Amino acid sequence: MADEAREQEKVDQRQALSAKAVHKALLQEGEEELERSTGALAWSAFAAGISIGLSLVAQGVLRHHLPDTQWRPLITSLGYPVGFIVVTLGRQQLYTETTLTACLPLLHHRTRQVLLNVLRLWAAVFIGNMIGAALFAFAAAWTSTFSVELARAFSEIGQQAVRYDFGTAFVKGIFGGWIIALVVWLMPSADAARIWVIGLLTYCLAAAELTHIIAGSLDVMFAIFSGDVSWRTFLSHYGVPVFLGNSIGGLVFVSALNHAQATHGED
């Protein structure tokens, strides 16, 4: 009997978490986040906005040292996950991740009080992210921290981000928000493979030229502070459409659908 119990324990350990178990874990995480003060959320989000700048640095270094070929974007995209790995493993608040975790308590309780609390969290995290990203972009563009050649590579990345029209940026933002929210959904099951999950999915986001409101805004703001892009272009070609797209991608295609399958008992 003892041997059978030990064997069953090994089997249970090897089984992947069910959809209900993942949903429960993220629901609990979302409820804990909603209990945090606005100041704590804002500081964590501010730190995340700065940390995500590592994605620009890593991509810029690769871009600077590689020849201008058709395959260069496939290699430079390897730098994109760096900031996301730091943010996720460091438990810092990133807007596109909180669209999933904070939304689950709202889908579960559906009260006005929870809705207002979710909006408070989203506002604090988004504003904190953008301030942190702007500070990193400003410091990188207006100081001599990086060489002229690296700064040029950073600016080129930012200029590329605003080359799409509103509709295209919006659709790309939906897919980008979906991928980032999927990263969060997979975390409870990832265990020791967390870095691989984050790295592979965010690499796909970058290589496919999809968009992320915080990481991409930092890229564009560097180009703005370098004098290569205007604020108006940023808002119309990136900021507004990608914000809307990311929000929809995270809320509808991950939060709502996975909530539905978990609460209706479809494992």
Determine phi and psi for 63, rounding to 5 degrees.
-65, -40
- Structure-model confidence comparison of residues 236 and 18, the more confident one: 236
In tens, the pLDDT along 156-202 reads: 999 999 999 999 999 999 999 989 888 888 888 777 788 999 999 99
Q: What is the pLDDT of residue 19?
A: 66
Provide the token pair at 153: 């590579």
CATH 3.20.20.370 is held by the domain 17-263: no
Q: What is the pLDDT of residue 261?
A: 67
Is the pLDDT at 11 greater than 60? The verdict is: no
- Structure-model confidence comparison of residues 31 and 107, the more confident one: 31
pLDDT classification of 109: cutoffs 50, 70, 90: confident
Q: Are 239 and 217 in contact (CB under 8 A)?
A: yes
Is the pLDDT at 21 greater than 80? The verdict is: no
Q: Are 53 and 137 in contact (CB under 8 A)?
A: yes
pTM for this entry:
0.87
Is the pLDDT at 229 greater than 60? The verdict is: yes
Q: What is the spatial distance between Cα 76 and Cα 56, in angstroms, rounded to a whole number?
A: 10
Provide the token pair at 45: 């989000």
Q: What is the pLDDT of residue 253?
A: 66
pLDDT classification of 255: cutoffs 50, 70, 90: low
- Structure-model confidence comparison of residues 187 and 236, the more confident one: 236
Provide the token pair at 191: 């265990």
In tens, the pLDDT along 54-95 reads: 999 999 999 999 999 999 999 999 999 999 999 999 989 999
Give buried/exposed letters for 169-200 (b at 16+ CB in 10 A, else e). Answer: bbbbbbbbbbbbbbbbbbbeeeeeebeebbbe
Q: Which range is most confident: 26-35, 149-158, 178-187?
A: 149-158
Determine phi and psi for 266, rounding to 5 degrees.
-95, 95
Is the pLDDT at 13 greater than 50? The verdict is: no
Q: What is the spatial distance between Cα 267 and Cα 255, in angstroms, rounded to a whole number?
A: 16
For residues 93, 90, 17 and 5, what is the CA-based torsion angle, rounded to 10 degrees?
-140
Average pLDDT across the chain, whole number? 87
SS (H, E, C) the chain: CHHHHHHHHHHHHHCCCCHHHHHHHHHHHHHHHHCCCHHHHHHHHHHHHHHCHHHHHHHHHHHHHCCCCCCHHHHHHHHCHHHHHHHHHCCCCCHHHHHHHCHHHHHHHCCHHHHHHHHHHHHHHHHHHHHHHHHHHHHHHHCCCCCHHHHHHHHHHHHHHCCCCHHHHHHHHHHHHHHHHHHHHHHHHHHHHHHHHHHHHHHHHHHCCCCCHHHHHHHHHHHHHCCCCCHHHHHHHHHHHHHHHHHHHHHHHHHHHHHHHHHCCCC
